[in-house]
Structure formats: C-alpha cells, structure tokens
Amino acid sequence: MSVQLKSAEDIEKMRVAGRLAAEVLDFVGPQIVPGITTEEIDRLCHDYMVDVQGTVPAPLNYSPPGYSPFPKSICTSVNHVVCHGIPGPKKLKAGDVVNVDITVIKDGYHGDTSRMFYVGEPSIQARRLCELTYECMWRGIRVVRPGAFLGDIGHTIQTHAEAHGFSVVREFCGHGIGRRFHEEPQVLHYGRPHTGLKLAPGMTFTIEPMINAGKAGIRQLADGWTVVTKDHSLSAQWEHTILVTEDGFEVLTTSVGTPAPPGD
C-alpha cells in the first residue's frame, strides 16, 4: 500500500479545497425544501461551484474502471439510497432525508464532504439514524492520531452503530485523497482495533460511514451507480476529509455552516 504523505504546501491547498466543498453545502442547504428536485439541487451546486467558486465538480464525468461516466456534478442519495444517487426529476417531499455529497477540485486538489439534510420534518427513526451516523463519523475522527490504526477507526464506528441496532455498509469505504479523487488508503467503517495501516502525520483521507436502519445488505440499480438498501430501509451518511497532524487530527472540510461536533 503506497500512501502519500502530504507536504505543508499540499495541506494548505487541501484546506482551501475542503473549505470550498463545505461552502457548497452551506449554500444549498437552505434550498432543500419540499418540492425541489435533486436535479435542481445539482444545478444549483454546479453553478455555484463553477461560476462563483471557480472550482471543478469532481464527480461530473468521473469514470473509474468498470463504471460509465457519472452524469452529474454531485451525488444525491434519498431515503433508502445508500450512496452515488444520480440527481433526477423526482421531487423531494416532506419527511424525506437526503445526503448531498460534494467534491470540488481547486488548483489540482480535491475537497470531499457530505451532509444529511431533512426535507421538512423527518420521522423519529430517520432523525435518530442521521444523528447516530453523525456520531459514528465523529467517533471515528476522534481516534485519528499518529500511531493509531485504521482498524481503530472502523471498530469505533461499527461498535457505536451496532450498539444502537443499526448496521454498517461494508462494500464502500473512506479513501485517501489529494491530487487524486481516490488514493490509498481505504478506510473501512468496521474492523478490529490495532489492525491495518498505522497512521502517520501528513496522511489525508475521508471518513464517511454509511449506516442502515435495517440490515447491511445493498444492491446496485441498473443505472450502474445508484446503490440502495436491499430491505428498503433508510440509510444515512456523513463525510469529512481528515488530516493526520503531529498530535491528532484536523478536519479539512469545515466552513461557517458546518454542523458542530456532537457533544460540543
């Protein structure tokens, strides 16, 4: 596994890209209301990225091996959609929950983050799932420090989710990030403590747990991208890009509107 440690110059550029990604979510969040389509959310984000920020939407036409090019500038995953939802013409309705996943490229560096949004008033279960998933992400973030292991992150997330009766999606994970959208290492959201790669200062990667209200099983739709829960249960995800510092961690994808960490 070849993990690139970032230089001070790399890190500064990644701070900028991360803040810009978060600011797209700040911008679009208030506009996610009943009646809007995910296609309209995509258009709003695309125009803000390109025309206001001068950033490049990384998902647009992104085509890893085995995939057709992704046709939109963001991912919008509604209710039982786990990840990689393609924005479309269906209108959001009161009670829906939606993950908006943003990745921008600025000066050659990627900033990657996602948040859950409530459309109107969510159900008690949906609210609890979204809050629990946010807690899972932050529990994973808070174990990041030099000398910790990737397995510590996954174990912490898995333990918290399963203790509350939820399940962790295993087929998708966090990833290294920098000049490339997806780099080493892979960051699993389940695992055993003291296993896997030992963390070192200068590593940058995402932590982005996908947590299901029902069972962990998933399936991919015919469009080749959209992933849903097999049992049609709700799914939630939050994502931050993280830097391993000399004595802990730094969250690179923060902005004025970033939700506060749980317990703060």
Q: Assess whether pLDDT exceeds 80 at residue 59.
A: yes
Which residues form the domain of 99? 8-251
pLDDT value, residue 20: 98
CA distance 96 to 142: 29
How many structural domains is the chain composed of?
A: 1
CA distance 45 to 26: 10
CA distance 235 to 76: 12
pLDDT tens digits, one per residue of 165-191:
999 999 999 999 999 999 999 999 999
Q: Assess whether pLDDT exceeds 70 at residue 1.
A: no
CB atoms within 10 A of CB 121: 9
Does residue 28 fall inside a structural domain?
yes
pLDDT value, residue 56: 98
Q: Residue 40 corresponds to which tokens in the numbers above?
A: 């309209």
Phi-psi region of 66 (alpha: psi -120 to 50; beta: other; left: phi over 0): left
Asked if 147 and 140 touch (Cβ cutoff 8 Å), the reply is: no
Q: Assess whether pLDDT exceeds 90 at residue 66.
A: no
Does residue 1 fall inside a structural domain?
no
CB atoms within 10 A of CB 155: 23
Does residue 256 fall inside a structural domain?
no
CA distance 174 to 186: 6
Please give the average per-residue pLDDT across 71-78, as a whole number.
Answer: 98
CATH number at residue 60: 3.90.230.10
pLDDT tens digits, one per residue of 88-141:
999 999 999 999 999 999 999 999 999 999 999 999 999 999 999 999 999 999
pLDDT tens digits, one per residue of 105-120:
999 999 999 999 999 9
CA distance 156 to 166: 14
Tell me the pLDDT of the chain averaged across its residues: 97
pLDDT value, residue 137: 98
Does residue 41 fall inside a structural domain?
yes
pLDDT tens digits, one per residue of 9-54:
999 999 999 999 999 999 999 999 999 999 999 999 999 999 999 9
- Radius of gyration over every alpha carbon of the chain, rounded to an integer in angstroms: 17
Q: Assess whether pLDDT exceeds 70 at residue 216.
A: yes
Q: Residue 237 corresponds to which tokens in the numbers above?
A: 């995800």
Q: Assess whether pLDDT exceeds 60 at residue 162.
A: yes
Name the band, by pLDDT with cuts 50, 70 and 90, for residue 263. Answer: confident
CB atoms within 10 A of CB 79: 21
- Residue in the structure block whose two tokens are 């979510």: 25
Q: Assess whether pLDDT exceeds 80 at residue 264.
A: no
Does residue 261 fall inside a structural domain?
no
Strands 204-207 and 56-57: unpaired
